[in-house]
Amino acid sequence: MANAASRELLTVGTDRSAIRAREDYVKAIYQLGGGAPVRGAQVARYLSVSRVSVSKAKRLLESQGLIEAQASSSAPIQLTARGRKLAVAMVRRHRILETFLHESLRVPLERVHSEAERIEHVISDDVALRIAAMLGHPRRDPHGHPIPYGDAPTRVKPLPSLAGVSAGEKARVLSLDDRDDRAVASLARDGILPGSTIRVERNDGGGVRVRVGKRAFVLSPKLAELVRVER
């Protein structure tokens, strides 16, 4: 989730913070909808900002041609072609940076998201692509999310969460929600990482008891919801 510094940057009006806010908003809209329209309330929750801040941002983004003109203040937010291109570029930079930080600099998994959030606003797409080339053009970031190399939005089919896997079933981890650093640290310590296989031993209102290799432990429903899997 956005920390206090991030929330401040989403509302302060300096040139640099305005650029960062613009990039954060279009990226949030894209990640929430994958190119489809989203509600302002969704964006507010995603970025941990007020609806008033989102309303101000919408006016700015519309004036810059990044979102479609809205018939009313309650209408869904839709990125324009220009807005989608910027959003995809921001997602690309972020995920390439996460991969570089984790694989080349050995930054712990739970820190790479926050670090990439800071750096993505001050490097060019050209530099990001050079980093990707140096890394061998990785297909996914360390959290398991696909890295987009083209400008077109990538429609990603919603994946089931570990919270929905029944007792007795096995599942392979595909990705982790990267916005909660503490949750990522906890999951990584337990060996719940992209590519790992999990067996669910119990799934009830009290949590999800899983087995990874020889270890068994219980995840809270909230934590299990952050793990995306395939059965």
Q: What's the pLDDT score for residue 73?
A: 78
Residue 2 has pLDDT above 90, yes or no: no
| Contact assessment for residue 116 and residue 97, using Cβ atoms and an 8 Å cutoff | yes
Residue 115 has pLDDT above 90, yes or no: yes
User: pTM for this structure?
Assistant: 0.86
Q: What's the pLDDT score for residue 74?
A: 83
89-115: b (≥16 Cβ within 10 Å) or e: bbbbbbbbbbbbbbeeeebebbebbeb
pLDDT (tens digit, 9 = 90+) per residue, 133-173?
Answer: 999 999 999 999 999 998 766 666 778 999 999 999 999 99
pLDDT (tens digit, 9 = 90+) per residue, 57-78?
Answer: 999 999 999 999 987 878 899 9
Q: What's the pLDDT score for residue 11?
A: 46
Q: What's the pLDDT score for residue 4?
A: 43
Find, among 148, 92, 88, the residue nearest to 120 by Cα: 92
Mind listing the domains of the chain with CATH numbers? Answer: 4-79 (1.10.10.10), 162-230 (2.30.30.90)
Q: What's the pLDDT score for residue 35?
A: 75
Q: What's the pLDDT score for residue 156?
A: 65
Helices (H), the chain: 4-9, 15-33, 40-47, 51-63, 81-103, 109-119, 125-134, 181-189, 221-225
DSSP single-letter state for residue 74: T
Residue 7 has pLDDT above 50, yes or no: no
Residue 184 has pLDDT above 70, yes or no: yes
The residue type at 108: P
| Contact assessment for residue 125 and residue 148, using Cβ atoms and an 8 Å cutoff | no
pLDDT (tens digit, 9 = 90+) per residue, 10-57?
Answer: 443 445 578 888 999 999 999 998 878 999 999 999 999 999 999 999
